[in-house]
Amino acid sequence: MFLLPHGHIQIKTKLHRDEVEQRLAEQVEPRKVIVPGIFRGKHKYFEGEIKNGSFKINRVPDYKYSFTLVIMGDIQTSNDQTIIDLRVHLDYAVLITLAIFALVLLFIFVCLPLQFSTSQPISGFVQLLISALKWPLLLYLGMLITFNLKAYEILDFLNDLLTGNQRELK
């Protein structure tokens, strides 16, 4: 489980580097601007680009405004195996939106009540702060759960694809 919306995983396979790149290329289509998968008809599993042993891809969303994960990787050959070094993180637009939403929640539950209180002892302020922090923490926990579910779904698919265990797309 990732505790931050960022992760690093290595997949080791006996497949040759060219075969790994070819299998990955079969599942990747060029990036399209703001056209969710639902309007594309038949589409591949990922969109992005692969070049010179590196790639930057993300899952083609089946609906608009999806929880977008970005997968970046490098393909390296070592002795008798190929190592695929993967880095997974949230799309920066999603991270910025979540941060703004958390700050708004914190403002609503801390700053506004302080403005309307006439005299509040320090223990009341601490209690207010602790109760207000639960909303951004719940937002973060929800984001982490969603991130981990999506990341492991995609990483499981990539692991099966790149180690030679072909399977059907969901």
Within 10 angstroms of residue 125's Cβ, the number of other Cβ atoms is: 14
Which stretches of the chain are DSSP H helices?
17-26, 92-106, 112-116, 122-162
How many whole angstroms from its chain centre is CA 32? 18
Secondary structure in 3-state letters for 131-160: HHHHHHHHHHHHHHHHHHHHHHHHHHHHHH
The rounded distance, in Å, linking the Cα atoms of 46 and 25 is: 9
The rounded distance, in Å, linking the Cα atoms of 142 and 20 is: 34
Q: What DSSP designation does 108 have?
A: I
Handedness of CA 74, 76, 82, 85 (dihedral sign): negative
pLDDT score of 169: 44
Q: Per-residue pLDDT for the chain (170 aa), expressed as one digit of tens each?
A: 677 777 888 888 888 888 888 888 888 888 776 655 555 567 787 888 998 888 998 887 666 556 678 889 999 888 888 888 898 888 887 778 878 877 777 777 666 665 555 555 656 666 666 676 777 778 788 888 888 888 888 888 888 888 866 554 44
Q: What is the CATH number of domain 6-91+157-162?
A: 3.30.310
What's the Rg (C-alpha) of the chain?
Answer: 21
* Nearest by Cα to 45 from 169, 143, 164: 169
